[in-house]
């Protein structure tokens, strides 16, 4: 009886979880298979999981046009690195400051941070301020600054870690030995808070890697094209695949040598855009999970 129930439970739960896992995975398989499908075959038979004719011409096209895609790739990496680094530095400094609740003013400063979770100026006035006051339109900072560099949840996570997981006696001892506050932060507190910094850093990096909205709002085709990241290119391609083809023919003549796979190429660029995530994610899975469990439920 007991073992019968055990077996039934295992079967039902495996079916439920397995079904969802399959549904989660299938679209990615379709995307990858479709990017390797022969374009002519696909235009007659559509994208399927088992195409009859395979082709790497989409990737050949991208390789031939690597100038544009490669540049966007480098820009994505640069934005991710700079953004994540700046985020970590200002967040960990801020979190350390407000973790010292006994210092006059720190409670008020914490409130300023938490209030941003409750109320914001909205898109219109944020857009106005960034373009008319701070003039970030069509600059590199357009991809770094708006909305992404410091977020109250992350700061609170780091602050809680400082308060709960780093013994105050360690800091006290260093202070008695005459260490300066910045020295204490950098040589004692930060090394001890690596786990939380890794978690926050990874989530932030993912956010920067995936961001396309800052590009949509703050980069124009005329002045900002040199800052395009992969995501922004993917977003633009949706609308202008034809103009891309025209530009390719004009500039290099490559389009005559490499057949232009107008449908499969978009999917191939998408595959290249998600490849780093697919490779890195399984290795860092536990940090992502930790980031969610820590950040998911209140402060």
Partner 1 sequence: MGKSKKGKCSRYIPFYLMVLPGLLYLMMNNYIPMFGIIIAFKKMNYSKGIFGSDWCGFDNFRFLFQSDAAWSITRNTIGYNLIFFILGTFLAIVLAVSMNELRSKMAQKTYQTLILLPYLMSWVVVGYLVFAFLSGENGFFNNTLLPLFGKRPVNWYNEKKYWPFILVVVQIWKSVGYSMIIYFSSIVGISQDYFEAARIDGASKWKQIRYITLPLLKPTVITLFILSIGQVFRSDFGLFYQVTRNSGTLYDYTRTIDMYVYQALMKNADYSMSGAASFYQSVCGFVLIIVANQIVRKYQKSSALF
Instruction: Provide the minimum distance between the beta carbon of 38 and partner 1 in the complex, in angstroms, as a whole number.
Output: 12
CA–CA gap between residue 270 and residue 230 (Å, rounded): 8
Instruction: Provide the minimum distance between the beta carbon of 79 and partner 1 in the complex, in angstroms, as a whole number.
Output: 13
Residue with Cβ nearer partner 1 (170 or 257): 170
Q: Return the H-helix or E-strand segment holding 288.
A: helix 264-296
- Cβ density class 136-161: b for 16+ within 10 Å, e for less: bbbbbbbbbbbebbbbbbbbbbbbeb
Residue with Cβ nearer partner 1 (6 or 66): 6
CA–CA gap between residue 56 and residue 71 (Å, rounded): 22
Please, how many CA atoms are within 13 Å of residue 214, restricted to the half-sphere of its CB? 27
CA–CA gap between residue 26 and residue 193 (Å, rounded): 38
Q: Return the H-helix or E-strand segment holding 17.
A: helix 2-35
Residue with Cβ nearer partner 1 (3 or 253): 3
Specify the length of the chain in residues.
299
Residues 6+ apart with CB under 8 A from 68: 233
CA–CA gap between residue 210 and residue 200 (Å, rounded): 15
Residue with Cβ nearer partner 1 (116 or 256): 116
Note whether 130 and 218 are within 8 A (CB): yes
Residue with Cβ nearer partner 1 (25 or 257): 25
Q: Around Cβ 237, how many Cβ atoms within 10 Å?
A: 15
Positive or negative: CA dihedral 69, 74, 76, 79: negative
Note whether 148 and 83 are within 8 A (CB): yes
CA–CA gap between residue 199 and residue 264 (Å, rounded): 35
Residue with Cβ nearer partner 1 (104 or 253): 104
Residue with Cβ nearer partner 1 (63 or 277): 277
Instruction: Provide the minimum distance between the beta carbon of 116 and partner 1 in the complex, in angstroms, as a whole number.
Output: 5
Residue with Cβ nearer partner 1 (220 or 251): 220
Instruction: Provide the minimum distance between the beta carbon of 271 and partner 1 in the complex, in angstroms, as a whole number.
Output: 9
Instruction: Provide the minimum distance between the beta carbon of 67 and partner 1 in the complex, in angstroms, as a whole number.
Output: 21
């Amino acid at each position: 009886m007991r073992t019968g129930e055990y077996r039934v439970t295992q079967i039902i739960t495996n079916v439920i979880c397995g079904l969802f896992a399959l549904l989660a995975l299938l679209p990615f398989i379709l995307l990858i298979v479709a990017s390797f499908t022969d374009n002519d075959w696909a235009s007659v038979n559509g994208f399927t999981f088992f195409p009859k004719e395979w082709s790497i011409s989409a990737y050949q096209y991208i390789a031939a046009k690597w100038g544009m895609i490669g540049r966007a790739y480098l820009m994505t990496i640069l934005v991710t690195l700079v953004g994540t680094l700046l985020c970590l530095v200002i967040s960990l400094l801020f979190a350390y400051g407000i973790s010292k609740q006994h210092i006059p003013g720190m409670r008020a400063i914490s409130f300023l941070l938490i209030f941003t979770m409750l109320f914001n100026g909205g898109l219109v006035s944020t857009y106005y301020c960034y373009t008319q006051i701070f003039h970030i339109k069509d600059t590199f900072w357009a991809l770094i600054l708006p909305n992404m560099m410091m977020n109250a949840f992350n700061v609170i996570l780091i602050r809680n870690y400082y308060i709960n997981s780093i013994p105050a006696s360690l800091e006290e001892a260093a202070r008695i030995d005459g260490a300066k506050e910045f020295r204490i932060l950098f040589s004692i507190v930060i090394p001890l808070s690596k786990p939380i910094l890794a978690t926050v850093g990874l989530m932030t990096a993912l956010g920067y890697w995936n961001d396309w909205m800052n590009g949509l709002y703050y980069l124009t085709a005329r002045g900002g094209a040199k800052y395009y990241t992969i995501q922004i290119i993917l977003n633009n391609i949706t609308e202008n695949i034809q103009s891309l083809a025209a530009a390719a023919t004009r500039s290099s003549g490559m389009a005559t040598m490499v057949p232009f796979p107008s449908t499969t190429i978009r999917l191939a660029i998408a595959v290249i855009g998600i490849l780093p995530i697919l490779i890195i994610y399984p290795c860092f899975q536990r940090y992502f999970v930790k980031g969610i469990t820590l950040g998911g439920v209140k402060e």
